[in-house]
Structure 1
Amino acid sequence: MTGSGAAAPIAPEPEHGPGPVAAADDVITWADFRAWERQVKSSGACSHPVRLHGRIDAIDLATGETAPVYDTSAEPGGVLHVACGNRRESRCPSCSAVYKRDARQLVRAGLTGGKGVPESVATHPCVFATLTAPSFGPVHSRRVRGKTVLPCRPRRDASKRACREHGRDISCNVRHSPDDPRLGRPMCPDCYDYEAAVLFNFHAGELWRRFTTYLPRHLARLAGVTGKRLRAELRIRYVKVAEYQARGVVHFHAVIRLDANTPDGFAPPPARYTPALLCDAIALAARAVRLDVPGSGPRIRLGFGRELDTRPIWCQDFAATGNPLDATAVANYIAKYVTKAVDVPGLPDTRIRHASEIGALRCPAHHKRMVATAWDLGARTSVGDPRLRLWAHQLGYGGHPLTKSRRYSVTFGYIRGERVTARQLERHPDGERDPWGRPLDETEVLVLATWSYAGTGYTLRTPAAELALVSADMARGR
Structure 2
Amino acid sequence: MTPRGAAAPIAPEPPGSGPVATADDAISFPAWERELTSTGTCSHPIRVHGRIDAIDLATGETAPVFKTWTEITIPQTGDTVRIGEPVHVPCGNRRETACPSCSQVYKRDARQLVRAGLTGGKGVPESVATHPCVFATLTAPSFGPVHSRRVRGKTVLPCRPRRDGKDRRCPHGRDISCPTRHVEADPRLGRPLCCDCYDYQAAVLFNRHAGDLWRRFTTYLPRHLARLAGITGKQLRAELRIRFVKVAEYQARGVVHYHAVIRLDANAKTGYYPPPARYSAALLADAIALAAKAVRLDAPTGRGPRIRLGFGRQVDARPIWRDPVAASGQPLDAGAVANYIAKYATKSTSVPGLPAARIRHPGDIAALRCPAHHKRMVTSAWDLGARDATADPRLRLWSHMLGYGGHFLTKSRRYSVTFGQLRRARAEHRRLERYPDGERDPWGRPLDERVVLVLAHWTYAGTGYRPRTPAAELALVSADMARGD
- After TM superposition, the score normalised by the length of structure 2 is 0.91
1:42 matched to which residue of 2? 38
State which of 452, 470, 474 in structure 1 corresponds to 2:459.
452
1:132 aligns with 2:128: no
1:311 aligns with 2:307: no
Taking the aligned partners of 2:65 and 2:153, their CA distance within structure 1 comes to 63
1:72 aligns with 2:68: yes
2:366 matched to which residue of 1? 359
- Corresponding letter in the other structure for 1:132: T
Taking the aligned partners of 1:275 and 1:162, their CA distance within structure 2 comes to 44
State which of 461, 470, 478 in structure 2 corresponds to 1:463.
470
291-300 vs 340-349, greater mean Cα deviation: 291-300
1:413 aligns with 2:420: yes
Distance 1:11 1:281, change over 3 A: farther
SS in 2 for 1:40: helix
1:92 aligns with 2:88: no
Taking the aligned partners of 1:370 and 1:473, their CA distance within structure 2 comes to 31
Report the Cα offset of residue 170 of structure 1.
Answer: 0.7
CA deviation profile, 1:312-360 (whole Å, cap 9, x unmatched): 0026756533221111000000011111111111111111111110001
SS in 1 for 2:189: coil
2:273 matched to which residue of 1? 267
Taking the aligned partners of 1:339 and 1:224, their CA distance within structure 2 comes to 41
1:149 matched to which residue of 2? 156
2:298 matched to which residue of 1? 292
1:247 matched to which residue of 2? 253
Distance 1:227 1:66, change over 3 A: closer
Could you tell me whether the CA contact under 8 Å between 1:8 and 1:27 is conserved in 2? Answer: no
Q: What is the root-mean-square deviation of aligned Cα atoms in Å?
A: 2.3
SS in 1 for 2:359: coil
- Corresponding letter in the other structure for 2:46: V
Taking the aligned partners of 1:291 and 1:447, their CA distance within structure 2 comes to 51
1:202 matched to which residue of 2? 208
Could you tell me whether the CA contact under 8 Å between 1:125 and 1:275 is conserved in 2? Answer: yes
The 5-angstrom pairing of residues 330-369 of structure 1 reads: 330-369=337-376
SS in 2 for 1:337: helix
- Corresponding letter in the other structure for 2:86: V
1:178 aligns with 2:184: yes
Distance 1:219 1:36, change over 3 A: same
CA deviation profile, 1:188-213 (whole Å, cap 9, x unmatched): 00110000000000010111111111
Could you tell me whether the CA contact under 8 Å between 2:195 and 2:373 is conserved in 1? Answer: yes
Could you tell me whether the CA contact under 8 Å between 2:10 and 2:23 is conserved in 1? Answer: no
The 5-angstrom pairing of residues 378-393 of structure 1 reads: 378-393=385-400
Q: Percent identity?
A: 76
1:115 aligns with 2:122: yes
Could you tell me whether the CA contact under 8 Å between 2:8 and 2:22 is conserved in 1? Answer: no
Taking the aligned partners of 1:391 and 1:311, their CA distance within structure 2 comes to 33
Taking the aligned partners of 1:78 and 1:283, their CA distance within structure 2 comes to 57
- Corresponding letter in the other structure for 2:343: K
2:16 matched to which residue of 1? none
Taking the aligned partners of 2:337 and 2:3, their CA distance within structure 1 comes to 46
Which blocks of at least 5 consecutive residues in structure 2 are unaligned?
12-19, 71-81
Taking the aligned partners of 1:443 and 1:264, their CA distance within structure 2 comes to 29
Report the Cα offset of residue 266 of structure 1.
Answer: 1.4
- After TM superposition, the score normalised by the length of structure 1 is 0.92
Could you tell me whether the CA contact under 8 Å between 1:124 and 1:268 is conserved in 2? Answer: yes
Could you tell me whether the CA contact under 8 Å between 1:11 and 1:30 is conserved in 2? Answer: no
Report the Cα offset of residue 159 of structure 1.
Answer: 1.0
Distance 1:338 1:52, change over 3 A: same
- Corresponding letter in the other structure for 2:184: P
Could you tell me whether the CA contact under 8 Å between 1:215 and 1:285 is conserved in 2? Answer: yes
Taking the aligned partners of 1:63 and 1:220, their CA distance within structure 2 comes to 62
- Corresponding letter in the other structure for 1:71: K
Taking the aligned partners of 1:28 and 1:180, their CA distance within structure 2 comes to 51
1:322 aligns with 2:322: no
